[in-house]
């Protein structure tokens, strides 16, 4: 049991490290998803942020983003590895099939989405705050200040705004990202005879996982972002989805797909590269 606890901080630490690298891309993605007028590119959005708000504004909401990874990713990675290793030990099956890994990842993703929802709401709001009219800005100083003000001004329920699409996204993200990585890595090792300890194997597996995860999660991610950025209008996920499809077309569900992939690709790569190194050094430490 004590050894399995390591998986929790492995996942959280590796995701926080990746967050430091990809936060500007995540910021641009959120801005594109909440933009009233579609069509702006990733680079033009980043350029707009730097020229109009200042260079360091590309790290707006960093504290909330780090807190999100510390809660959401710590939970989903930890629960996934915990359940997977428990299955391997119980059934003496060193390579669980996709049919086994999928339900494990879905439970892990849902729990991660639940635990990380408050920090996710604050993260979306802080990243998008500068685009609002001055009188409507929240001006959260940091993630904890944001959570305190939300509870004070809007009630505890505000921390779980957008929970339904966030749970869906958590399930889709974990199942598509983590399972794809495990399955992809096994394929590269078994069929392509690549070294499981090499960074090239980890890089290739994580790149494929990032591509799959971006495509699968895009619709839920866009709806989640819009709900969390709203000011308590009471609109449900279904209502927001219907209005968006009516006014913007089905393509809105993949708004910001390219910046999402440009962000999630490197984020997935860095996460799994760091995760594999943590596993390696921990294994050496235990010897």
Model's pTM, two decimal places? Answer: 0.81
CA angle 205, 208, 213 (to 5 degrees): 120
Give the relative orientation of helices 163-190 and 98-128 as an angle to the nearest 10 degrees. Answer: 130
Residue numbers of the domain that contains 210: 2-286
Structural domain count, the chain: 1
- HEC per residue, the chain: CHHHHHHHHHHHHHHHHHHHHHHHHHHHHHHHHHCCCCCCCHHHHHHHHHHHHCHHHHHCCHHHHHHHHHHHHHHHHHHHHHHHHHHHHHHCCCCCCHHHHHHHHHHHHHHHHHHHHHHHHHHHHHHHHHHCCHHHCCCCCCHHHHHHHHHHHHCHHHHHCCHHHHHHHHHHHHHHHHHHHHHHHHHHHHCCCCCCCCHHHHHHHHHHHHHHHHHHHHHHHHHHHHHHHCCCCCCCHHHHHHHHHHHHCHHHHHCCHHHHHHHHHHHHHHHHHHHHHHHHHHHHHHC
pLDDT in tens, the chain (287 residues): 446 778 889 999 999 999 998 888 888 877 877 776 666 777 788 888 899 888 888 888 888 899 999 999 999 999 999 999 999 999 988 889 999 999 999 999 999 999 999 999 998 888 888 778 888 888 898 999 999 999 999 999 999 988 988 898 899 999 999 999 999 999 999 999 999 999 999 999 999 999 999 888 887 777 777 777 766 555 666 777 777 778 877 777 777 677 678 878 899 999 999 999 998 888 888 77
CATH code, domain with 153? 1.50.40.10
């Amino acid at each position: 049991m004590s050894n399995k606890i390591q998986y929790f901080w492995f996942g959280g630490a590796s995701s926080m490290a990746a967050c430091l690298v990809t936060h500007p891309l995540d910021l641009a993605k959120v801005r594109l998803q909440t933009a009233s007028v579609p069509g702006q590119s990733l680079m033009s959005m980043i350029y707009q942020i730097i020229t109009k708000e200042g260079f360091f504004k590309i790290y707006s909401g960093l504290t909330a983003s780090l807190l999100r990874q510390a809660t959401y990713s710590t939970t989903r990675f930890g629960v996934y590895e915990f359940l997977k290793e428990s299955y391997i030990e119980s059934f003496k099956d060193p390579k669980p099939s996709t049919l086994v890994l999928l339900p494990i990842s879905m439970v892990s993703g849902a729990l991660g989405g639940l635990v990380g929802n408050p920090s996710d709401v604050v993260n979306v709001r802080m990243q998008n705050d500068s685009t609002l009219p001055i009188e409507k800005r929240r001006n959260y100083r940091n993630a904890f200040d944001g959570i305190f003000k939300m509870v004070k001004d809007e009630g505890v329920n505000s921390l779980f705004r957008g929970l339904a699409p966030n749970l869906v996204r958590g399930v889709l993200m974990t199942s598509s990202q983590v399972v794809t990585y495990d399955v992809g890595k096994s394929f590269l090792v078994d069929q392509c005879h690549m070294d499981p300890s090499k960074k090239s194997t980890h890089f290739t597996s994580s790149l494929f996982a990032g591509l799959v995860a971006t495509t699968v999660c895009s619709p839920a991610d866009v709806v989640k972002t819009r709900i969390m950025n709203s000011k308590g209008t009471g609109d449900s996920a279904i209502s927001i989805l219907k209005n968006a499809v009516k006014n913007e077309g089905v393509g809105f569900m993949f708004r910001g797909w390219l910046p999402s992939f440009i962000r999630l690709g490197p984020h997935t790569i860095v996460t799994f590269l760091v995760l594999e190194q943590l596993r390696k050094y921990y294994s050496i430490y235990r010897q």
